[in-house]
Amino acid sequence: MRAGRVLFVALTSITTVAIGTAACVGVGYYLILSAPPDVDAQCQHSPGQARIDACTAVIRAETSPTADLSWAHVSRGNAYTELGQYRRALDDYNAALLQVPDSSAAHNNRGYAYYMLGQDRRALTEYDMALKLQPGDVTALRNRGTITCFLGQCALAVKDFDAALRLSPHDATALYGRGRVYIRLGQYDSAIRDFDAALRLEPKALQILASRGTAYGEAGQYQRAIADLDVAVGNLPDADNLNSRCWARAVWGHELDAALADCNRALKLQPDSFAAIDSRALVYFRMGNYAAAIADAHAALGEAPALANSLYVLGLSRLRTGDQRNGKADIAEAKKRDPNIERTYAGYGVKP
């Protein structure tokens, strides 16, 4: 499975592209609201648990004005966010919004917490509210665009990224996010243009490079894809980048031993990665190892039952083993889930 099917991947080398925001792929949170001059500096600037402890002291003292306490809740919520404690972060953002309900930044941060907890529609509601309060909030526009595409409305998501880029034309994160959306829409040339522009702004951002490699692969420019992904994997050999290179080689239909090695390395790092299992299923199919392809397709579907890719490869593999009835049924169901899947795989040179 190509990396473009996993919409949210944190940028590795990209720097913060807007003051007060975290540089994530479309989905980011404001680091602070406004820091009153008398707030304990440790609550403003300390890392991790030290900031949590300092902000807790400020909140418990209850001597600050309401705005100060709201800021302390947001700052502590952000510390929890950075530690991956999203439910605690959400409690703090809720408390901040009880005190200052019209804070666009706090709504944006609460949306981020909801997203990280898997509550995507609630996150979308928060980004809508943030933009109602502050229509020119670039971070909220990026966030809403990312979530909207994740929920299946990628054409609508492009409009949010377009709006963000009109307000902030040199926003590498917005360019990257829109490029990822273009991958989902199958507009690979547009995706490559956005990644090129983002890389001119942030040439060391490995995930932008990896995503451009994905786009090259989907556009059939396999050698360019592998060149980008070689650099990305060489500097950041994580499961996502290894899977991306595995997938590029799988759809290319060449260097299959290397593709299998990449998928196996990705699964060693992340054993429950249905994306890497799905990619390996196509590698095995290309190798003619249909039993292994069937096993991997079943495993991927066990993790992600709606995955049309794995269902299609399952059907193709069953046809190759002579199981015509089940193979045809799998392919028919895959077409229901993704009406373009037969054309997509035909573009890879893979046909029933």
Residues ≥6 apart with Cβ < 8 Å to 147? 26, 27, 111, 115, 120, 123, 124, 127
Its pTM stands at 0.82
Region 311-336: what's the mean pLDDT? 97
What is the structure's pLDDT at 278?
96
Region 19-47: what's the mean pLDDT? 53
Assess whether pLDDT exceeds 70 at residue 157: yes
- 21 - beta bridge partners? 30
Q: How would residue 315 be classed by pLDDT, with cut points 50, 70 and 90?
A: very high
User: Could you read off the pLDDT of 119-136 as tens digits, one per residue?
Assistant: 999 999 999 999 999 999
- Full DSSP string of 262-289: HHHHHHHH-TT-HHHHHHHHHHHHHHT-
d(CA 124, CA 143) in angstroms, rounded, equals 8
User: Could you read off the pLDDT of 166-212 as tens digits, one per residue?
Assistant: 999 999 999 999 999 999 999 999 999 999 999 999 999 999 999 99
Assess whether pLDDT exceeds 50 at residue 9: no
Domains of the chain: 3-253 (1.25.40.10), 254-352 (1.25.40.10)
d(CA 191, CA 184) in angstroms, rounded, equals 9
Q: How would residue 60 be classed by pLDDT, with cut points 50, 70 and 90?
A: confident
User: Could you read off the pLDDT of 61-105 as tens digits, one per residue?
Assistant: 876 555 568 888 988 999 998 899 999 999 999 999 998 899 888
What is the structure's pLDDT at 105?
85
* Residues counted in the chain: 352
CB atoms within 10 A of CB 220: 14
What is the structure's pLDDT at 118?
87
What is the structure's pLDDT at 327?
97
